[in-house]
A and B are shown apart, each in its own frame.
Chain A
Amino acid sequence: MVLLAASICTKAGKPLVSRQFVEMTRSRIEGLLASFPKLIGAGKQHTFVETDTVRYVYQPFDKLYMVLLTTKASNILEDLETLRLFSRVIPEYCKTVDEKEVFEHAFELLAAFDEIVALGYKENVNLAQIRTYTEMDSHDERVHDAMRQCQEREAKDRMKQRAKELDLQKRAQRAAGGSKSYGSSTGISSNMYSSSSADKTPDITPTPVTYSTNNTTSTIRPSTTGKAMKLGTKGKNVETFVDQLKSEGEIVANTVPVITGAGGAVTKHKTQSISLPDTEKGEIHLKQEEKLTVRCGRDGGLENLEVHGMIMLRVKSEQYGRILVAVDNKESRNIQLQTHPNIDKKLFTNESLIGLKNADRPFPVNQEVGVLKWRYTSTDSKEIPLTINCWPNETPNGGCDVNIEYELQNRNLVLKDVQISVPLPSGGQTPVIGKIDGDYQFDNRKTTLIWTLPVIDQSNSEGALEFSIRGKSADFFPIQVDFVAETGYCDIKVADVKSVDNRKSVTYSSESQLIVDKYEYV
Chain B
Amino acid sequence: MGFVVEQPGILTTVQDEGRYGYEQFGMSPSGPMDLESFHIANLLVGNPKGESALELTIMGPTLRFTKANVVAVTGAPLSPKLNGESCPMNQAFSVSEGDELALGAVQGGCRAYVAFAGGLDVPEVMGSRTTALQNKVGGFQGRRLEKGDEIGFRAPAAALPHMERRRVERKVETAPVREIRVILGPQEDRFTKEGIDTFLSGTYTVTKDFNRMGCRLEGPVIAHKEDGNIISDGMVTGAIQVPTAGQPIIMLAERQTVGGYTKIATVISADLPSVGQCKAGDQIRFRAVEVAEAHRILREKARELEALTERINAPDPEAKAPRCYRATVNGLTFTITLTECDD
Are A and B bound to each other? no
Interface residues of A (CB under 8 A from B): none
